[in-house]
Amino acid sequence: MAGLENEPSWESVLALEPGEPIVLGEAEFDGACIAMADFVDIKSPYTLGHSRGVAELAAGAAQRFGLPVTDVVTIRRAGWLHDLGRTGVSTAIWDKPGPLSDREWEKVRLHTYYTECILKRPHSLAQIAAIAASHHERLDGSGYHRRLPAAMLGPAVRLLADANIYRALTEPRAYRPAHSPEAAASILKGETEAGRLQADAVNCVLEEASHHVAKGGRVTPAGLTEREVEVLRLLARGHTNKAIASQLTVSAKTVDNHIQHIYEKLQVSTRAAATLFAIEQNLLTDVG
């Protein structure tokens, strides 16, 4: 630890890596981004799978918008990494069931600044940092943390912001249940009419969101039954066995049996490992 109390410590830490520096290829870099996204999202049961969802929705919308392939790749990566700064804000704030105080809101607004600080140091991540850290900016300058005007918000930023809003609205939060896709679309259109979002970008996000709506039944992975998927969803969201039993109208003993079967089929032994599986398999949608 010698010398790490001095600035700059970045180079000192990198120099401590044993062996030759590891350089990631494109696919390996994507894997690292996804790992960081999952790490951030698991911070709260209300954000499980959020970053993955934002990344895919924003990337698909970017394709519909007509952006070059390289821009689509950058937007997807920015989507994976956009909420890194959430790790700098207390979970007690993110999971607060009631309204936030002014002081708490100030801390929330800092999370985009933290995202920028984390990503901007490596030169190769500068473009991703600029997009990821701007996902709460708005065309009328009312966003945060820089309150940028419309002229400084390119298509990539606008698409990522819209995708983030849509995904957040359709996911449950501590202070509200998830909105329906129709309600979320209505809110985005209202923001467009108010001049805070761009109509073309919003339309691409909504079209892409509709494109990803599941049609018919879903093939469940690892041999899970539909009921086991329901139990896994609630388990991942942090519900107790008693709460799961109440919601599904079964006994707590039945829930415990389901959980044991889930663990056996997934070959895991902890709630965290089961939750990560649910995120990776996109099993957390439609959870209230």
Q: What pLDDT is recorded for position 10?
A: 77
Taking every pair of C-alpha atoms in the chain, what is the biggest distance, in angstroms? Answer: 59
Residue ranges covered by each domain of the chain: 25-211, 221-280
Q: What pLDDT is recorded for position 153?
A: 96
Burial of 250 from C-beta contacts in 10 A (0-12 / 13-18 / 19+): middle
- Say whether 176 sits in a helix, a strand or coil: strand
Q: What pLDDT is recorded for position 123?
A: 84
Angstrom distance (rounded) from CA 181 to CA 244: 24
How big, in percent rounded to 5, are the helix, strand and coil portions of the chain? 60, 0, 35
CATH class of residue range 221-280: mainly alpha
What dotted CATH number matches 25-211?
1.10.3210.10
Query: What is the Cα 25 distance to its own chain's centre?
Result: 23
Contact criterion met (CB below 8 Å) for 175 and 130:
no
User: Cis ω on the peptide bond leading into residue 212 (within 30° of 0)?
Assistant: no
Write out the E strands in 137-180.
Answer: none
User: What does pTM read for this prediction?
Assistant: 0.85
Extract the tokens encoding 200.
């073309």
Extract the tokens encoding 36.
């960081």
Extract the tokens encoding 127.
């473009």
Q: What pLDDT is recorded for position 286?
A: 56
The parts of the chain modelled with pLDDT lower than 70 are 3, 8, 211-219, 286-288
Model confidence pLDDT, tens digit, residues 35-47: 999 999 998 999 9
